[in-house]
């Protein structure tokens, strides 16, 4: 393995972290918009919908936090791998790069889970609109 192998992950991880940050910012905007939205329906319906949405939001925020942590750790391990290659510690670099890839896979799997929860949140919103 040479220095260019882990360097290939730099743009991918950076874009991934940007996408995760955008998801978090959109969740923050959604949280802020829930208060005015609940005032347009009856109190009982608003309470039930808000409760469901809040549960979904809490789960999504936790998952996004873990996605971001795994992405950042993947980036750190990738950089560490490059440093180990530079120091000619090839065996350590190989395993460190493998750990970076594993963390990236974990982050992507969390992303799929968050997308599924997000879809359920939209279903709750659409069900409320249909009433």
**Of the candidates 7, 3, 13, which has an alpha carbon nearest to the alpha carbon of residue 71?**
13
Tens-digit pLDDT string for the chain (131 aa): 676 777 777 677 778 778 877 877 777 677 667 655 555 556 666 677 778 778 888 888 899 899 989 989 998 999 999 899 999 999 999 999 999 999 999 998 998 898 888 878 777 777 776 66
Domain that holds residue 75: 4-130
Q: For position 131, what pLDDT does the model report?
A: 63
Locate tokens 């991934």: which residue?
16
How far, in Å, are 1, 25, 61 from residue 28 at the CA level?
Answer: 41, 5, 9
**Number of domains into which the chain is organized:** 1
């Amino acid at each position: 393995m040479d220095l260019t192998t882990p360097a290939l992950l730099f743009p991918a991880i950076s874009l991934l972290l940007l996408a995760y940050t955008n998801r978090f910012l959109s969740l923050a905007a959604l949280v802020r918009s829930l208060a005015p939205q609940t005032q347009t329906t009856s109190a009982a319906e608003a309470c039930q919908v808000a409760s469901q949405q809040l549960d979904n939001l809490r789960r999504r925020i936790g998952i996004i936090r873990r996605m971001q942590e795994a992405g950042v750790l993947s980036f750190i391990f990738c950089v560490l791998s490059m440093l180990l290659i530079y120091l000619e510690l090839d065996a350590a670099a190989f395993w460190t790069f493998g750990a970076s890839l594993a963390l990236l896979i974990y982050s992507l799997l969390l992303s799929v889970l968050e997308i599924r929860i997000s879809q359920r949140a939209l279903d709750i919103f659409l069900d409320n609109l249909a009433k």
